[in-house]
């Protein structure tokens, strides 16, 4: 697609204002009556010492002389630009047709992005708190792949810490292999909860927990055997959820993977004169940067979360030679990542600037209260997905009882509703998930987009198949059709901006806008039987489907 913002920026000449500055000011007016693009002139008033109204008038006059293929008009301090509609319709439809049903990813750009996401903790349930990191990371994974990056998805497992000594101790006392085999993480979680209850009564249990953790640290065969079994059980359970969400990873190297790489990091910090002692612990002092010290070694010589992240960052750079390394982790860890990145920088690694923390807010469930892992009163993600699917099945039974593939559709719609709920608001905002809102087929929801997609499908089923090829583009120049065309033309720009801001919600928002715009078009025109409008429908269907794919949501053919 031609980048018309660029055309505009190139043909508007203002002394003292750069082309890129003008480019960034060009916007899409929300009111179609204002044209296709708009340039506000208020910012130039100071440099040019003229009123915005006068500037807009002069700019549009000279722009129109440039024959850039758009028409400029000055309106109250803005220059509004209009494209030649028929030409733009043709360009957009042809581009969309050339992409076919499945948009191919861009050619490789030779760049690598590492994405650390989901990063669950062993023997802990996959609860709703993990939803955001998992789906934001999973979506970014698809988005960057689509843009031609080599992407490395990393599940930085929480598989190290004294709690695993406690778990082994609980297992030795009360564990039952059959039960663990059957109930997976739930059985492990119960052991853990029981350990804490009993340890409150009997202090010796904690002693025993430490004993088993020491054994893990020392590489004791039995301890490691039991622990790796816990790991398998956890991953087996969690994998079911990943499958349902369409999430993949290229690496499961978690915290314990770095055990034999910590000494190097500590030596290096020592050599570079960055380590100082503080109450027997070793830390990197960050006073100068207004941050508390970064803890590297506890007084008993145990390493910390940050120590492992330093080792992991170095390992990722060495192994993948990334251009960017993202960490999709809740905002509660803002300080942790600020410290780790600062220490990397102090170690002299200029690639520290390529490490980016992608924070997000908290999720809670409407009417569920605060969610905590401690006492075992957690909301399991599996239950949330199951409930959403069940509720969807009921809605489908009411709306479309004869639907084929009911179960599969209910699954795609129910899971999609939850994922969309998580991805549709800007990631940093805390959110409250509500089934009713997420499953409202007329709201700003996944089911609404999926329903629109299925509607397109059904229109196409009713049409003769030869809507492709040359069509009468003039027939799509009315306001409703043209509004859809404009959105279609923006797909790539939207995906780029989602990648740029690490913000899948930009795609989610776009798909809502496209659906609403298409439905408006559909209500005001007779589509079935009309070749041009059917062609437009085909483009919308494909764009919705490919957009949904990028935010991990399926697009059933019928609903």
Toward ligand ARG, which CB reaches closer, 45 or 291?
A: 291
* 158 counts as binding ligand ARG under rule CB under 6 A: yes
* 3-state SS assignment for residue 71: strand
User: Which span (59-67, 114-122, 284-292, 512-520) binds ligand ARG, by CB under 6 A?
Assistant: 114-122
Closer by beta carbon to ligand ARG, 42 or else 252: 252
Min dist. Cβ of residue 210 to ligand ARG (A): 22
- Number of CB atoms found within 10 A of residue 143's CB: 24
Residue 23: CB partners within 8 Å, gap ≥ 6?
5, 6, 8, 9
The least distance separating ligand ARG from the CB of residue 156, rounded to whole angstroms, comes to 4
Site for ligand ARG in 319-378 (CB under 6 A): 327, 329
Task: Considering the complex, state which of residue 134 and residue 515 has its C-beta at the smaller distance from ligand ARG.
Answer: 134
Closer Cβ to ligand ARG, 232 or 405, answer by number: 232
89-93 contacts at long range (C-beta below 8 A, 24 or more positions apart): 89/473, 89/476, 89/477, 89/481, 89/482, 89/485, 90/473, 91/1, 91/2, 91/489, 92/1, 92/485, 92/488, 92/489, 92/539, 93/471, 93/473, 93/476, 93/485, 93/535, 93/536, 93/539
- Provide the mask over 456-495, with x wherever binding to ligand ARG is found by CB under 6 A and - wherever it is not: ----------------------------------------
Helix extents (H) in 15-51: 19-25, 45-48
Q: Determine, following the binding rule CB under 6 A, whether residue 256 of this chain makes contact with ligand ARG.
A: no
Which are the contacts of 253, defined by CB distance < 8 A and separation ≥ 6? 154, 156, 157, 312, 315
116 binds ligand ARG per the rule CB under 6 A = yes
Strands across the sheet containing 70-75: 37-40, 78-83, 70-75
Q: Which of residues 120-149 bind ligand ARG (CB under 6 A)?
A: 121
Interacting residues with ligand ARG between 428 and 447 (CB under 6 A): none
**314 lies in the site for ligand ARG, by CB under 6 A:** no
**Cα separation values, 503 from 195, 239, 429, 492, Å:** 41, 25, 12, 14
Q: Which stretch binds ligand ARG (CB under 6 A): 116-124, 209-217, 219-227, 461-469?
A: 116-124
CB of 263 to ligand ARG, least distance (A): 19
Contact status: 309 vs ligand ARG (CB under 6 A): yes
Closest to ligand ARG by CB, 158 vs 554, is 158
Least spacing, CB of residue 130 vs ligand ARG, in Å: 8
- Nearer Cβ to ligand ARG, position 208 or 309? 309
Rounded CA separation 252/385 (Å): 24
Smallest distance from ligand ARG to CB 543, Å: 34
Tell me the closest approach of the beta carbon of residue 360 to ligand ARG, in angstroms: 12
Q: With CA atoms as reference, report the closest residue to 541 among 361, 522, 526, 235.
A: 522
Taking the C-alpha atoms of residue 245 and residue 264, their distance in angstroms, rounded to an integer, is 38
Alpha-carbon distance 73 to 58, whole Å? 10
- Please choose, out of 115-123, 179-187, 201-209, 470-478, the segment that lies near ligand ARG by the rule CB under 6 A: 115-123
Applying CB under 6 A, the residues found at the interface with ligand ARG are 116, 119, 121, 156, 158, 309, 312, 327, 329
């Amino acid at each position: 697609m031609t980048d018309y913002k660029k055309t505009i920026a190139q043909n508007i000449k203002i002394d003292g204002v750069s082309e890129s500055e003008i480019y960034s000011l060009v916007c899409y007016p929300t009111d179609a009556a204002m044209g296709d693009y708009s340039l506000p002139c208020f910012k130039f008033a100071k440099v040019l010492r003229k009123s915005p109204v006068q500037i807009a008038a002069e700019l549009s006059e000279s722009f129109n002389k440039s024959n850039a293929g758009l028409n400029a008009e000055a309106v109250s301090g803005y220059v509004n630009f209009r494209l030649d509609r028929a030409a733009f319709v043709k360009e957009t439809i042809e581009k969309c047709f050339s992409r076919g049903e499945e948009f191919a990813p861009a050619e490789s750009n030779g760049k690598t992005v590492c994405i650390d996401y989901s990063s669950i903790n062993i023997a802990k349930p996959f609860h709703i708190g993990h939803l955001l990191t998992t789906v934001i990371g999973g979506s970014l994974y698809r988005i960057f792949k689509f843009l031609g990056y080599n992407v490395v998805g990393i599940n930085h497992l929480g598989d190290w810490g004294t709690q695993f000594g406690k778990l082994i101790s609980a297992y030795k006392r009360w564990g039952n292999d059959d039960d663990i085999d059957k109930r997976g993480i739930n059985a492990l979680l119960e052991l853990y909860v029981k350990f804490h209850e009993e340890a409150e009564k009997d202090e010796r249990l904690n002693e025993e927990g430490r004993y088993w953790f020491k054994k893990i640290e020392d590489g004791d065969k039995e301890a490691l055997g039991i622990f790796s079994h816990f790991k398998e059980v956890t991953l087996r359970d969690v994998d079911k959820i990943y499958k349902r969400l369409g999430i993949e990873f290229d690496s499961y190297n978690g915290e314990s993977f770095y055990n034999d790489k910590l000494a190097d990091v500590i030596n290096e910090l020592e050599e570079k004169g960055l380590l100082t002692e503080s109450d027997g612990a070793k830390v990197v002092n960050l006073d100068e940067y207004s941050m508390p010290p970064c803890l590297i070694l506890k007084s008993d010589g145990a390493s910390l979360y940050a120590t492992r992240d330093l080792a992991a960052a170095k390992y990722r750079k060495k192994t993948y030679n990334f251009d960017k390394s993202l960490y999709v982790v809740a905002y509660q860890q803002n300080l942790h990542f600020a410290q780790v990145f600062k220490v990397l920088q102090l170690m002299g690694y200029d690639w520290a600037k390529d490490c980016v923390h992608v924070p997000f807010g908290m999720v809670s469930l409407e009417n569920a209260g605060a969610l905590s892992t401690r006492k075992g009163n957690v909301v399991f993600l599996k239950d949330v997905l199951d409930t959403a699917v069940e509720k969807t099945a009921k809605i489908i039974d009411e709306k479309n009882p004869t639907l084929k593939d009911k179960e599969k559709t209910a699954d795609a719609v129910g899971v999609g509703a939850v994922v969309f709920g998580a991805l549709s608001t800007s990631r940093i905002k805390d959110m409250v998930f509500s089934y009713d809102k997420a499953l409202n087929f007329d709201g700003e929801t996944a089911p609404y987009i999926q329903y629109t997609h299925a509607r397109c499908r059904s229109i196409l089923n009713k049409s003769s198949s030869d809507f492709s090829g040359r069509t009468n583009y003039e027939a799509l120049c009315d306001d409703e059709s043209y509004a859809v065309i404009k959105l279609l033309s923006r797909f790539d720009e939207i995906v780029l901006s989602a990648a740029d801001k690490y913000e899948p919600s930009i795609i989610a928002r776009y798909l809502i806008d496209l659906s609403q715009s298409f439905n408006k078009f559909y209500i005001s025109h007779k589509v079935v039987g009309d070749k041009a409008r059917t062609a437009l429908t085909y483009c919308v269907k494909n764009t919705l489907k490919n957009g949904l794919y990028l935010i991990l949501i399926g697009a059933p053919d019928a609903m």
